[in-house]
Structure 1
């Protein structure tokens, strides 16, 4: 008895006499379209409709084996090693737990641009390409901070913990606790800021600007002083809030 798994309906459809049947047998070899008579003869009307809704290629193309993790489509030892390293890296990242639901609701509830929402979410998932993560994936040789050459650039250090960033955070009274408090990660730091009813939206905008500045300095020859970060972040947040107010009128 052949068994077809119907994930859309959450049940199994059993068809006798078609043990060796393949998907290609359901396609008319002349028209290269689904064989409607066969579909409706083997499946329920709803199942047949679901299958028929799957688009098919009208041209007859030979199947080829492609390695999706290399531009050429061909497997190489280097691409295989990178794939395994990335898989191992992802498997060791903190996963979403029920206790994190409040943090996620807080992040997505902030009145900030979507790019900043996404940035915060990635930062809390340790999915930002700081030097530590890149070295772990064997993409970089060293993982030291550009500002503090002797310290490792992980996400917490790059956005908050680096001493060179204290001139930024200390200039905002409600966020000037970078020297007096340390946290295990960005998650705990954001949670503390929110629970203490401090300006999380400004903090988020500043962190995004710090990261943007860091990348600009690394990829271009233009000067982007740390002293410009607060003004840029504050102005961007104010412009966003003004646009929201104008749209609601």
Structure 2
């Protein structure tokens, strides 16, 4: 599992490097003390996991993760516990406080590793299933697994997905909802880019249900629901709409 470390305190960074070095399945592919450096390197190195302090000398990591595209899981390691809710909404896997407890660190890394491996296996299975159904001219589907059930949903029936405090809610065409205990980022990687747009940190929308776009930053869907569009995502939404004209 490839790991990238973002920490501006040298002693703490060295300690994290030593902890990571004791875990055989971890490979540290890079580290940085500044957001500007990490912004370039993360997109080049494509790590599976990012260990990040929140407050750095040139800003906060929330700015970084809202401006780059990465499928990496994020574990925040910080001395500030007031950022916990923001971290969950961003889709962070975990939130560890300094000083770092070795046992808690190892346990969190292990849980993350198992989740990443399970996700890779699920994605492979979905790709095989999707390929099979496409050959039969059957609509693509997604498998939603929870503690209580496994549900197969046709992607055409998903109107939008909403993230809230580490959970993702699928809003379906018939008005029903499915709540999953996974972050939005995991489903973003499974939903086809030609059909779904990440228009906001907390929302992914099926483009087939977009009825109107308000330039101040809002989408009106065919079911009359309104979805916010963040400033950073406006160009993506506008580009899609312009391709229709």
- TM-score (norm. length: structure 2): 0.24
Q: Which has the higher strand share?
A: 2
Larger Rg: 1
TM-score normalised over the length of structure 1 = 0.24
